[in-house]
């Protein structure tokens, strides 16, 4: 086995490896490549791969969390192919990761892994602790009821209606994102970087993703990322501006978005929520989502 620097050319292979190991992850090779490629230089990101017999068997990445509002926040990811785990490959890669984290001045480091004994043991041995528990839920769209009628003064617009000027969606998302429960609080992503990383994300369904407006003002939204080949989608974020909360808009916009996804041929929808996000979990329960699996955010210190 050899550990060498990774590159963008490796990412599609890594995406397929991740999808095999995590069947409730809605991820295409093109989508993962986009996310890895769109990380700005100031993140000082580094990639590694473990190669054995000419094939890629493990992947590692770390860098500064460029979206965090706190200096020194960093992320790490170590993923070993399911068939190769238990052989110490991750442990062999870790010293390189640790060296780079020190070099870039990382103070608080976080990573997400499956809620499995191996992940917990690996993280604990390196000074990490569980900081968030994330619930992955699945909804069979055939069972989804027809969406409700819109309240008076409320309208829906697909993301495609903002193709010429998506700034209103960026402004809405910027406010909502600050209230997402995270161990590394998000700051404001500059508009140009948001355009490149999120608006241009290849899996975003611009017709199923919706903005809910109240009196013409964007108040709530949901993002649908679809993979037509597998007929699955993921609702990456659903949120409402603070002054419009408590009126059920998040559920309304999500019901309509999922109905649009179903009409386009999508059969199953996935979503991920922090276990403490009670309002959104209640919405998902009412929609009929069932728990599929769990992931854990591990943090240090």
What fold, for 2-106? Answer: Aminopeptidase (3.40.630)
Distance (Å, whole) CA 173 – CA 237: 9
CA distance 179 to 27: 25
How do residues 155-164 score in pLDDT, each as one tens digit?
A: 999 999 999 9
Is there a contact between 269 and 258 (Cβ–Cβ < 8 Å)? Answer: yes
For 245-271, write each residue's pLDDT tens digit. 999 999 999 999 999 999 999 999 999
pTM of the predicted protein model: 0.94
Arithmetic mean of pLDDT over the chain: 95
Q: Which CATH number fits domain 138-292: 3.40.1280.10, 2.40.50.140, 3.40.30.10, 3.40.630.30?
A: 3.40.630.30
> How far apart are alpha carbons 201 and 30 in whole angstroms?
9
Query: Tens of pLDDT along 132-167?
Result: 999 999 999 999 999 999 989 999 999 999 999 999
Domains 2-106 and 138-292 share a fold: yes
pLDDT digits (tens, 9 = 90+) for 97-146: 999 999 999 999 999 999 999 999 999 999 999 999 999 999 999 999 99
| Neighbouring residues of 128: CB distance < 8 A, sequence distance ≥ 6 | 109, 111, 298, 299, 300
Instruction: Kindly list the domain boundaries of the chain, sorted by start residue.
Output: 2-106, 138-292
Which DSSP symbol is given to 241? Answer: -
Helical (H) or strand (E) element with 102? helix 89-103
Q: Using CA atoms, how far apart are residues 290 and 117, in angstroms rounded to an integer? A: 23
**What are the tens digits of pLDDT across the range 15-35?**
999 999 999 999 999 999 999
């Amino acid at each position: 086995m050899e550990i060498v620097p990774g590159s963008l050319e490796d990412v599609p292979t890594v995406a397929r490896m991740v999808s095999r190991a995590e069947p409730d992850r809605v991820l295409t090779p093109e989508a993962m490549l986009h996310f890895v490629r769109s990380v700005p230089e100031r993140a000082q990101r580094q990639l590694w791969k473990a190669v054995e017999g000419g094939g890629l068997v493990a992947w590692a990445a770390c860098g500064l969390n460029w979206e965090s509002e706190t200096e020194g926040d960093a992320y790490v990811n170590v993923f070993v192919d399911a068939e190769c785990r238990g052989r110490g490959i991750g442990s062999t890669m870790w010293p390189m990761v640790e060296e780079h984290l020190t070099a870039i001045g990382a103070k608080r480091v976080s990573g997400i892994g499956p809620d499995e004994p191996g992940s917990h043991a690996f993280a604990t041995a390196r000074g990490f602790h569980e900081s968030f528990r994330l619930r992955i839920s699945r909804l069979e769209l055939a069972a989804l009821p027809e969406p409700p009628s819109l309240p008076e003064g409320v309208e829906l617009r697909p993301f495609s209606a903002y193709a010429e000027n998506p700034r209103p969606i960026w402004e809405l998302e910027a406010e909502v994102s600050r209230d997402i429960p995270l161990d590394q609080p998000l700051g404001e992503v500059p508009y140009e970087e948001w355009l490149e990383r999120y608006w241009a994300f290849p899996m975003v369904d611009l017709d199923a993703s919706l903005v809910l407006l109240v009196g013409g003002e964007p108040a709530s939204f949901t993002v649908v990322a679809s993979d037509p080949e597998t007929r699955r989608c993921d609702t990456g974020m659903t949120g409402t501006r603070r002054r419009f909360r408590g009126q059920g808009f998040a559920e309304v916009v999500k019901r309509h978005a999922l109905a649009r996804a179903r009409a386009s041929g999508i059969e199953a929808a996935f979503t991920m929520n922090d276990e403490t996000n009670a309002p959104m979990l209640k919405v998902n329960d009412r929609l009929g989502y069932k728990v599929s699996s769990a992931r854990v955010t591990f943090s240090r210190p």
